Amino acid sequence: MKKNIVLFVLFVLPIVAYLFFASGVNSFTKLPVITPKVADLGNWKSLRGEKVTLDNKITILGFSGTKILKNRGNLFNLNEKIYQRYHAFQDLQFVMICPLGTERDVKNIMDAFDDFTDVSQWHFVFTTPDEIQTYYSQLQLVGKLDANFGTSNVYIIDKKRNLRGRKEAEEYKEGYNTFHPSELSNDMLDDFKIILYEYRAALKKNNNATKQL
C-alpha cells in the first residue's frame, strides 16, 4: 500500500497537476483592461460599404498604414494563426483602420486571401492620416504609430469596447506583433482564449438565469 502511495505521489500526481494548470489557466485568469471604453469607429468608408462598429463584438483591431502591400505578410500571419481558427465565431471581427488611398492594395490582398479563406469577418475602414492618429492616441498606449500611420501590433477589444492585455510590469502587453508568428501562436492565442472563456461563461450564466426566470 505504501509503495502504491509513493508511486502515485512521484509519478501520477505531478502529471495530474500539470494537466490541471495547462488546461485550466484560461479558466482561472481574467485578462486586465488596459484602456477602458475606447471610442467607436467614425463614420468612415469601408471596403464593402458596410457600417463597421466595435459595439457588441470581440474585435481584433489593427492599423495597416500606407505600406500595407509591403507589409502584407503581417496580415497573412494573423490570418493563419488566429483568423482561420476562429473566424466562424459570429461575435468576432477583424478590423483594420487604413489610410485613404490604400483601398486598391487592400482589395488585392483580400482577393488573394479569398482563394483559401472565408474573408467575411475581415473589415477594412479608411480615413485620413490625421483621424487615424487621433483615434490611435485615445487608445492611450505606450507604443506609437510609425511614420506611415501603421503598426505591426494588433489589439484585443472586448464587447464593451475595453482594450485588454497584460498589465503586470514584467509581462506588460498591450498589443501583439503580427510580424512574429510565434507571438501570435503563444501570447495572443492564450489571451484570446481568456476573452472567449469570459464570453462563454457570461453567456452560460445569462442562459441559466433566463431558465430560472
Instruction: Transcribe 126-143 into DSSP letters.
Output: EE-HHHHHHHHHTT--SS
CB of 165 within 8 A of CB of 34? Answer: yes
**The predicted structure's pLDDT at residue 158:** 97
* Helix, strand counts (H, E) of the chain: 8, 8
> What grid cell was written down for 179?
510580424
CB of 54 within 8 A of CB of 161? Answer: yes
CB of 142 within 8 A of CB of 42? Answer: no
Helix ranges (H only) for the chain are 2-7, 13-24, 72-78, 84-86, 103-113, 129-137, 181-183, 189-212
Q: What domains are defined for the chain?
A: 28-203 (3.40.30.10)
| Cβ burial, residue 78 (10 Å; 0-12/13-18/19+) | buried
**The predicted structure's pLDDT at residue 200:** 85
Taking only the tens place, the pLDDT of each residue in 27-61 is 347 899 999 999 999 899 999 999 999 999 999 99
Taking only the tens place, the pLDDT of each residue in 76-133 is 999 999 999 999 998 999 999 999 999 999 999 999 999 999 999 999 999 999 999 9
Asked if residue 62 has pLDDT above 90, the reply is yes
Residue 53 sits at the vertex; the CA angle it makes with 172 and 153, to the nearest 5 degrees, is 30
CA distance 179 to 183: 8
CA distance 31 to 14: 27
Asked if residue 208 has pLDDT above 70, the reply is no
**The predicted structure's pLDDT at residue 21:** 45
> What grid cell was written down for 188?
495572443
**The predicted structure's pLDDT at residue 142:** 96
Q: In whole angstroms, how large is the CA radius of gyration of the chain? A: 20
Taking only the tens place, the pLDDT of each residue in 134-193 is 999 999 999 999 999 999 999 999 999 999 999 998 899 999 999 999 999 999 999 999
